[in-house]
A and B are shown apart, each in its own frame.
Chain A
């Protein structure tokens, strides 16, 4: 029963993504029948094969619409601001060549895989910081930082408001 639920959910999500991908292909701004057929077949195959893998490590809570709303707020608000700021900072370092690189270690105190992946991806997408490794047991992050101001920094010093948002959205 659980397997069936996992496969169905994955299939429905894949079909929704395909609908998005093939929007406006029909004659009046709707979906063409052959696109619907192709999407249905793909959703069945992908849902059946990948379904049990997707939810293996307890991802059900990520389906809550509240988390998605928060994620969108995060994406256009604090994340975009931090990325723009860091992009300009790294652009300046490219021109002047002033770098002070190093690999720092800090613990953002995230417990779940999704929280850690979320934070690691946010850190890597922000210029100037790059996640090298995460210790699975302790949750320590190893981050290559282009401008080390403090050899043993706190999580907030490296990535600002990201850990708090990762806790809010993914944990």
Chain B
């Protein structure tokens, strides 16, 4: 059981690290949102799963509460993360930040049509 917890924690830490690297490496706000929020989500899912497994392994009332609340935290994370990153990206585009080295920008084109 503790092996499983360590594996989950290791995967979570690895993806969180990659998210941090992406934040430094990627050129503009949109690609940074890809890197940061996505890798962080996957990393956080595994960290929370580790907590849930720990709770189940511990057993009893306290462990059960811990596991269930960890799962609920996961659910709310999965609900709020896309909403938040969408709001950030949309606000960035509306305030006029162009995507860096973009191949196409259909939203800009649609804006010119007078949406």
Interface residues of A (CB under 8 A from B): 20-27, 29, 83-84, 86-87, 90-91, 94-95, 97, 99-105, 120-128, 130-133, 135, 140, 142, 144, 146, 148, 151-152
Contact = CB atoms under 8 A, between A and B. Distances in A.
Contact of A148 (B61, B62, B65, B103): B103
A46 B88 CA distance: 28
B44 to A, nearest CB: 12
Size bracket of the B interface: 35 or more
Contact of A87 (B42, B65, B89, B100): B42
B107 interface: yes
A101 B93 CA distance: 14
Q: DSSP class of A's interface residues: helix, strand, loop or mixed?
A: mixed
A87 B105 contact: no
Given A25-B65, A86-B38, A90-B22, 10 more contacts: A21-B69, A24-B61, A24-B62, A90-B35, A94-B18, A95-B18, A103-B102, A130-B86, A131-B89, A132-B93
6 contacts: A20-B72, A91-B15, A95-B18, A101-B100, A130-B34, A144-B34
Nearest to A27: B61
Contact of B90 (A94, A99, A132, A140): A132
A101 B107 contact: no
Contact of B106 (A24, A91, A103, A125): A103
